[in-house]
Chain A
Amino acid sequence: MKSSIFRYKTGIIFVFLSVVSFQLNAQDKTTENADEENIGRFISFQATLLQPVAFGDNFANDALSQNAGYKLALRFYLYKDLFLGVEVGSFSADVENKALVGDFDDSNANTYGVTAGYSFLFNETNALDAAASYGFANYRNKKNNVDDRFVDNGNYVKLQVQYNYKFSQSLSVYAMAAWRYDFLDIDASPQIDDFINQAQYLTFGIGVKFNVITDRSKLW
């Protein structure tokens, strides 16, 4: 499992370095008198405050109570409004029914993934982003009176829509909703395998997005 984590982290770093390298190369060629109509974002950084809501017949819905969490994402607009990015997220959950999951007290659900999507620009101030994400998920579980957390590992997929309202070229706020499916690798008996190894969430959030503006004509 550690090698799996390493591969994800290495992949994310590789994507990040590749795109930053491309950006630096592009910026070198940017002329000082860029046309106002041609300017566009290249990188956006967004921070989300989110509330996951678990549903379905699984441990997350039946045994845990989710608290508010956050997500940080970096998006690279590689071609027009098509973007590729990386994201990390986390929320905590309290164990409400220990009989279903084992005797521990709380959990931190973390995700590290890559995302791809498209921005639909309606007008100067309104846009809708649609994105799909895939990555690594882990639940770092804590039992009171035991020092170390123990971990349940797996992966996640996520589909997300995000409505953006633009205040300026470099600043937007947004509201988002997402469906997330976690599939874990817990070694368990067939009696509980489906229940303990999957989780589904609807996630709702609000956030702020910072755009790095550059000369669009020089980027694509």
Chain B
Amino acid sequence: MKKIVLIIILIFSIVCLSCETRIEDNRRITITGKIQDQNEVPLNNINVISGNENFKLGNIQSDDNGEFLLTSLSIDNGDFNEDDEFVSDRIRQININAVEDENDFGLTASNDQFNRIELINTIPFQGVEINLGTIILNEVSQLTVNIDKGSFADQELTAFVDIVSTSCIFELDEIIDDDELSCETLNVFTPSRNLPAGSNDASFEFETLKGRTSVISVVDQADQTLFNQEFEINETNEIINISL
């Protein structure tokens, strides 16, 4: 029994040692780029963070020209390649227009008028500099949908709203030699909201991209469409009022 306990402790020790994150000695990685909107206007005070799954390695804001030069620490965790050289991915992620919150970083925008970009690195990185080129951020709209159920107040309805994702993810090695970085094909998804029976009005808030269209539809319990219309989202704070 003691042997089994010892073996379990040994296995756990090895696992914990192997998963411990170390910061690499004698190395800094610089990440450069220029952030602007779709009209080529430079964006200042956009936060750029480098890190891994657990913590930040570097952090900076873009200047008045939209440019940034981020000095980042480097992760030492890695493995030996076929030439017996130790290699590490060094930086696991770069978040553009993101801030650190209590539990994580990269999930909240530093400037909520623009979308976020996340770059993920999964391959060994040997260099000391990453040039992201020109980074284009799209404007975000805070969309409020107010629904007046009218004669359907006593029925339970469901509303569907097409919205565009305000963040996108790239593999770092796929974009590292590109001159321009932009979320050209952002995901469109359609969240649903329940409109319970017995209430006349309902209001829902979404975040989507400005300049895109959004289809809003309302169906009843029998999936019969009561409302279906496409809207242009042109305002930073767009309010759509629907009366059934």
Contacts and interface: CB of A to CB of B under 8 A. Distances in A.
Contacts of A191: 30, 32, 69, 129
A210 B202 CA distance: 84
A57 to B, nearest CB: 15
Contacts, number: 83
Interface of B: 20-30, 32, 51, 54-61, 69-73, 76, 128-129
Contacts of B51: 103
B73 to A, nearest CB: 4
A153 B70 contact: no
A29 B128 CA distance: 60
Interface stretch (A13-21, A70-78, A112-120, A139-147): A139-147
Nearest to B23: A150
A143 B58 CA distance: 11
A192 interface: yes
A204 interface: no
Contacts of B25: 1, 150-153
Interface in A20-78: none
Interface of A: 1, 98-104, 141, 143, 145-148, 150-153, 184-189, 191-192, 196
A103 to B, nearest CB: 4
A191 to B, nearest CB: 6
A187 B27 contact: yes
**Complex A-B, nearest 5 residue pairs according to Cβ-Cβ distance, in ascending order:** A189-B129, A102-B73, A150-B23, A99-B60, A189-B30
A192 B21 CA distance: 25
Given A101-B71, A150-B76, 9 more contacts: A1-B25, A99-B60, A103-B59, A143-B55, A148-B22, A148-B23, A186-B27, A192-B28, A192-B69
A150 B24 contact: yes
A146 B30 contact: no
A1 B69 contact: no
A200 to B, nearest CB: 19
B22 A102 contact: no
A102 B72 contact: yes
B26 A153 contact: yes
Contacts of A99: 58-61, 70-71
A185 B27 CA distance: 9
B55 A147 contact: no
A187 B74 CA distance: 11
Contact of B26 (A1, A98, A102): A1
A95 B23 CA distance: 16
7 contacts: A104-B23, A147-B20, A150-B24, A150-B25, A150-B76, A196-B28, A196-B71
A186 B71 CA distance: 12
A100 B73 contact: no
